[in-house]
Each structure stands twice: as C-alpha cells, then as structure tokens.
Amino acid sequence: MALTNNDIMKKLRVALKLKDDDIVHICSLVDFKLTKSELGAIFRNENHPKYMECGDQFLRNFLNGLIIYKRGPRDEKKPAERKSDNP
C-alpha cells in the first residue's frame, strides 16, 4: 500500500507538530496561497464529502516552504573570482 500525498502531509504535520496557521505561513513563504478551509479538506477522511486530494504541486510548494521555514532563505552565491595569470 503506497502513501498518498495526503498521507505524507498528515505524517509531516504530526512529526513536526505543525498547526494550521504554521502550514499556511510555510506555504506563504513560497508565494503559494492557501486557506485554512482548503487545508482542512486535505486532512479530512477520504470518505468525507469535502475531502480534497493533495496534488503534487501543493506538496512540492509545501516542502520548498518548509526548507525556508526550517533553514532560512537561501544565500545568494557570489560569483567566483577569476585568477589572473598576468602579475
């Protein structure tokens, strides 16, 4: 039995002790708009009428936001200085 994206989200939520507000904030870090009602639909039981499947795009954006949330924004790399052969 394979894990669905919804299962992965549920497991990450519990493992990282995230609240709805935290997940909405994490998604906003990568400019991904999400409401609490949409989030609630993802965490519902599959048999519930308002259940929503967690898509790949949502999970990808959440994971990218989680990286920023845990590590901080990515540092800009400075261009490497060229070594000159001429003295």
Domain-located, residue 43: yes
- Is residue 76, in this structure, part of any structural domain at all? no
Distance CA 3, CA 38 (A): 20
pTM greater than the 0.85 cutoff: no
27-67 residue pLDDT tens = 999 999 999 999 999 999 999 999 999 999 999 999 999 99
Say how far apart CA 58 and CA 80 lie, in whole Å: 35
Backbone angles phi, psi at 4, to 5 degrees: -90, 170
Q: Has residue 87 been placed in a domain?
A: no
Query: What is the maximum alpha-carbon separation in the chain?
Result: 74
- Angstrom CA distances, 78 to 41, 75, 84, stand at 43, 9, 18
Range of the domain at 56: 5-71
- Would residue 81 count as lying in a domain? no
* Structural domains counted in the chain: 1
Share of the chain above pLDDT 90, in %: 77
